[in-house]
């Protein structure tokens, strides 16, 4: 994709670039979702597994009050990555459709004699 450093060229969008990068966002959303599920099920299943020592108590003191916020924020990140994936797919499809539309605008139309069209 264009890096904005070319003379007069701000963005050079290539459909192939968009389509090749888009799945990365989907894969990372899946991985993050799996990590969140593991975190939630492991910690909920074990109760408070961080222990009674000083580091465990410090962790629990900071983690427990923020647990739902952490889980919710991570869920939002998963949705965000998924949305980026879907938007990139839609953008690639729209870019192709737009190219075809523009091509059609500049294709010579053939008119029958007497219709006022140019040959």
* Residue 1: pLDDT band with limits 50, 70, 90: very low
Q: Say how far apart CA 24 and CA 18 lie, in whole Å.
A: 11
User: Which is higher by pLDDT, 11 or 4?
Assistant: 11
Task: Please write the tens of the pLDDT for every residue from 51-98.
Answer: 889 999 999 999 889 999 999 999 999 999 999 999 888 887 776 566
Q: Say how far apart CA 45 and CA 110 lie, in whole Å.
A: 72
DSSP-based helix, strand, coil % in the chain, nearest 5: 70, 0, 30
């Amino acid at each position: 994709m264009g890096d904005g450093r070319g003379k007069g060229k701000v963005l050079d969008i290539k459909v192939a670039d968009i389509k090749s990068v888009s799945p990365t966002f989907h894969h990372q959303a899946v991985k993050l979702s799996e990590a969140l599920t593991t975190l939630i099920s492991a910690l909920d299943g074990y109760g408070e597994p961080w222990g009674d020592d000083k580091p465990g108590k410090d962790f629990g003191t900071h983690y427990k009050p923020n647990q739902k916020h952490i889980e919710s924020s991570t869920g939002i990140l998963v949705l965000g990555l998924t949305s980026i994936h879907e938007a990139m797919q839609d953008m690639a499809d729209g870019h192709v459709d737009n190219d075809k539309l523009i091509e059609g605008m500049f294709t010579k139309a053939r008119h029958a004699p007497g219709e006022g069209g140019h040959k």
